Amino acid sequence: MSEKEYMIECMTRDIILLLMEKRNMDLEHALNTFYTSDTYSKLHDEKTGLYFQSPHYVYSFLENELTTGKFS
């Protein structure tokens, strides 16, 4: 596993936990929500550099996406 892949996996874990904590989602719903989001796609895009950021910073993009329906 590359360093980038490891960072993305750790970020994914942390964001799933944040969804469960802040939105009271069960594990299955949190996994589905994140893996199907634009935020997850952007996390894998090296050009965004999101995988270098903190989980809370990336989660703020997901929160916005879930609220407004778009990544921004």
> Measured between alpha carbons, how far is 24 from 3 in angstroms, rounded to an integer?
31
CA 66, 9, 55: angle at the middle one, nearest 5?
50
Q: Which tokens is 51 given?
A: 């995988």
> What per-residue confidence (pLDDT) applies to 72?
64
Q: Each residue of 8-61: pLDDT tens digit?
A: 999 999 999 999 999 999 999 999 999 999 999 999 999 999 999 999 999 999
pLDDT in tens, 4-18: 999 999 999 999 999
Q: How far apart are CA 45 and CA 18, in angstroms?
A: 21
Give the DSSP H or E segment for 20.
helix 3-22
Q: Which amino acid is at 57?
A: Y
Where is pLDDT greater, at 17 or 72?
17
